[in-house]
Chain A
Amino acid sequence: MSTAGLKCPCCGSSSIVEDDHHTNRQMVCVDCGTVVSEGALTHDFFEGTDISYSRTTAVSKKPCLNQIKGQQRLTALCRVLRVNSEIETLSSTYFAQAYEHESFLNVSLQKKENLAGCCVLVSCRQLNWPVTMGTIACLLEVDIAMLGAVYQEMMKVLKVEAQLVNVSDVMEAHCQEYKISPLDVHEDLAEDCKDLNKRALSLVELAADSWILTGRQPVPLMTATVYLAWQSLNPNHIRLKMSLEKFCLIAKVKKNRVAVKRVSEIKGVLCKLGKEIPWVTDPVTSDNVVKHVGDIVKNRYALLRSAMRSHEEAMQNDQEEEVNPSEADDQTPHATGENSEMAEQPREGNESNANPNPVPNWGKRMLFAPPCVIHPKRRRAVIEGLKDVTGDEDISDGEIESYIRSPREAREFAVTQKAWLSQSEEAKCQ
């Protein structure tokens, strides 16, 4: 440090020397001995460089606090679901990737939490660990629709694909929720989890083949099959009388309105098959089909074939009764053998015939069809509007004028509107 130009503030002399005081450089006035400036400990700051602190000091961009929290939440979720470490790391990677993306960077905390759940979900799917969206939604305590929206967006951002979850895989975990071991309930009502699972699985397969599963939420169907399985494994008086709601109460499972519908649908399928059992003489109805479920499930392939055959015969008999005899020749019976595809093909002949009106309900002619086809929703009659329109037609003045208020009408409307507005303002103030 140069001594030139420095003046002692105390005595004003300009003879200032550099002095090392315990390695601390000082500028000391010779005459009066005041320390003009201390060396390194000076307030003589130097401007510093133009490079900011974060650029020189920060090593890499650290995740923000919310992201850290999100990762922790994700880990907690993985622990609850008891997934393996591979899934945990994969979901962690996805979360880090998706979080940085613009569509997830500035969203609400709840959405970020949903994102964590979705990352776990997609990793589980990709690594063959069956878990449903409903489970994640339940764990996060969020509406499944919201979770679904985040899921779809995340899939677009990450550009990954995930397989569909098989209901059969999820079934075992679902069965374990039901508290009906001999320790929990009375022995008449108790059931072993493994047997329950097995029976319920075969019922689910039956439902899948007969179009009850496709397009529907899996959980109500699973509840329905567990209920029917439980009833059929020991069809005593108590079990048969117990309703689905009561069963859910006993088993400490959330009840489900839709499951009741599924029960009746599955019972319908079982009845169709139950009819084919050779040794059953009484007519099989929804009330008494449960006790035959064991036999039906055991011999379901044979019963399926038999049911299809009788259905074809019934169709043929209907055909012969019809006025037009030529259509009977167009019957194309389908034997699908071991494969449980039960959809009977609609008559091939129908499609090539000059049939101006489409067949009203092809579902009714098949042995098994999706319930939404057999019982279609009634639609309001389609209003047939203009047919031959060019878009360039003349528009009549009269028509346009019918859409415009007359001056008097407009005045009255304005007056009424003002009066109504002031009234509502008064009501609001009161």
Chain B
Amino acid sequence: MDESALERYFDDSIANDSGFLNGDDADLPSTPKPSGELADDLDLSFLPDELSGNACDAEGSGSGGGVALASHHEAEDRPSSSSSQTANDSAVFCPMTPMTPMTPMTPMTERSGIVPQLQNIVSTVNLGCPLDLKFIALQARNAEYNPKRFAAVIMRIREPRTTALIFSSGKMVCTGAKSEEQSRLAARKYARVVQKLGFPARFLDFKIQNMVASCDVCFPIRLEGLVLTHQQFSSYEPELFPGLIYRMVKPRIVLLIFVSGKVVLTGAKERGEIYEAFENIYPILRGFRKQ
């Protein structure tokens, strides 16, 4: 394999860091980078995403070159265009510091080679104006509203396939997207629908609240052994739930580990947290495979 999933992951982490910044400038992310080694080379956290690439061609840097390669892995839905755009952005803003090639913290052979697939993203946005839910339910085709059951309109769109809960205060929750960008696009579409219905809707404080991912390590796991050695993090009650609930402290992610080898990761606000959590748990799980 010429370009491992690992390098793609690191490249995507760079793209990610600027990708989360949206129109609301006050919302600067303060979270540290997912992997320590990036901090020295690039600090893109301050870049707003409106910045369209001043097209400098990729400066032959390691990561830039890595990004330009087409992604074969089915897990990656990161577009190469936005990544190279970011590479160009950094080139514009840090002309004095050429981008050094990324070096992984641990040797390639120890990495899992498995990338968790995002399954669900939950995000919230503030449309900034009070809404008449009865009117929306009447005028929109894709809305349902049952005030006795729940005090919000449930709206659905086909592409990206998502569901939104729209409250009368103007706040909205968007669920079901498979990536951060899809969630943002879906939220914008809902906002447009509300706009078209006549409300002065805006798009304020878009924030990803939760990300859920899953993957398969392809070997069975002795949950009883795992709960013995990692008692302070694990909770395994076969009488209640067949999986082991592992509460990782750093990053703060909850993992559901099943005997079949399937792992569900949830509680992340950023994609990097999920990848980091999985890379942390994989050697632990491998340890249980050999026993």
Q: Provide the bound-state CA to CA distance between A345 and B232, in Å.
A: 29
Flag if A390 contacts B181 (CB, 8 Å).
yes
Once A215-B223, A389-B160, A395-B192 are accepted as A-B contacts, the answer to whether A341 and B218 lie under 8 Å apart by CB is no
Known A-B contacts A132-B239, A144-B240; the reply to A399 vs B224 at CB < 8 A is no
Complex contacts, B240 vs chain A, CB 8 Å? 133, 144-145, 148, 151
CB of B207 within 8 Å of the partner chain: no
**A403 and B184 contact, Cβ closer than 8 Å, known pairs A164-B228, A369-B220, A390-B79:** no
Chain A nearest CB: distance from B213 CB in Å? 14
Q: Are A362 and B219 in contact (CB under 8 A)?
A: yes
Cα(A227)–Cα(B61), bound, Å: 68
State in angstroms the CA–CA spacing of A169 and B63 once bound together: 56
- B289 proximity list for chain A (CB < 8 A): 343, 345
Interface check A235, CB cutoff 8 A: no
Chain A binder among B88-96, B124-132, B257-265, B276-284 = B257-265
Central interface residue in B142, B185, B223, by most chain A CB within 10 Å? B185
Q: Tell whether, in the assembled complex, residue A148 and residue B237 are in contact, meaning their CB atoms are under 8 Å apart.
A: yes
Question: Taking the nearest CB of chain A, how far is it from the CB of B220, in angstroms?
Answer: 5
Distance between Cα atoms of A401 and B189 in the complex (Å): 11
B239-258 residues with Cβ-Cβ distance < 8 A to A are 239-243, 258
Closest to A376 in B: B260
B291 interfacial by beta-carbon distance below 8 Å:
yes
* Chain A residues positioned under 8 Å from B40 (CB to CB): none
- Whether A211 lies near B189 (C-beta < 8 A) is no
Cα–Cα distance between A354 and B3 once the two chains are bound (Å): 11
A216 contact set on B, CB distance < 8 A: 238, 242
- Complex-state Cα separation, A281 to B6, whole angstroms: 53
B-side interface residues toward A, CB under 8 Å? 1, 19, 49, 72, 77, 79, 81-82, 113, 138-142, 157, 159-161, 178-185, 188-189, 192-193, 196-197, 216, 218-224, 227-228, 231-232, 235-243, 258-261, 289, 291
Q: Which of A72-80, A260-268, A380-388 contacts B (4 or more CB under 8 A)?
A: A380-388
Interface residue ranges of A354-402 to B (CB < 8 Å): 354, 356, 358-359, 362-363, 366, 369-370, 372-373, 383, 385-393, 395, 399-402
Q: Is A422 an interface residue (CB 8 A)?
A: no
Interface code A404-423, partner B: CB below 8 Å = 1, 0 otherwise? Answer: 11000110011000000000
Q: For residue B251, give the distance in angstroms from its CB to the closest CB of chain A.
A: 20
Known: A373-B261, A385-B160. A359 touches B197 (CB 8 A): no
A-side contacts of B179, CB under 8 Å: 389
Q: Beyond A385-B161, A390-B79, A404-B140, is A370–B220 a contact (Cβ under 8 Å)?
A: yes
Which of chain B's residues have a CB closer than 8 A to the CB of A211? 220, 259
| Residues on B with beta carbons closer than 8 Å to the beta carbon of A151 | 237, 240
Task: Flag if A356 contacts B259 (CB, 8 Å).
Answer: no
The answer to whether B218 touches A346, judged by C-beta atoms less than 8 angstroms apart, is yes
What 1/0 mask marks residues of chain A from 200 to 242 whose CB sits below 8 Å from any chain B CB? 0000000000010011111100000000000000000000000
Contact yes or no, A133 B237, CB < 8 A? yes
Q: Which residues of B contact A404 (CB under 8 A)?
A: 139-141, 193, 196-197
Q: Whole-angstrom distance between the alpha carbons of A216 and B220 in the complex?
A: 14
Residue of A nearest to B257 (CB): A215
Given A211-B220, A410-B138, A414-B138, A389:B79 Cβ within 8 A? yes
A130 touches B (CB below 8 Å): no
CB distance from A133 to the nearest CB of B (A): 5
Contacts of A155 in B (CB 8 A): 235
Complex interface residues of chain A between 34 and 93 (CB less than 8 A to chain B): none
Add 13 more A-B contacts to A215-B259, A389-B179 (CB < 8 A): A133-B237, A133-B239, A144-B239, A211-B259, A215-B243, A356-B72, A370-B220, A386-B159, A386-B160, A386-B185, A391-B184, A403-B141, A405-B140
24 A-B residue pairings within 8 Å (CB atoms): A133-B239, A144-B239, A145-B240, A151-B237, A164-B227, A214-B223, A215-B243, A354-B1, A362-B219, A385-B161, A387-B77, A389-B182, A391-B181, A391-B184, A391-B185, A391-B188, A393-B185, A400-B196, A403-B157, A403-B193, A404-B139, A404-B196, A405-B141, A410-B138
> A333: CB under 8 A from chain B?
no
Minimal beta-carbon separation of B29 from chain A (angstroms): 16
A389 to B231, CA, bound (A): 41
Known: A388-B77, A400-B192, A410-B138. A362 touches B218 (CB 8 A): yes
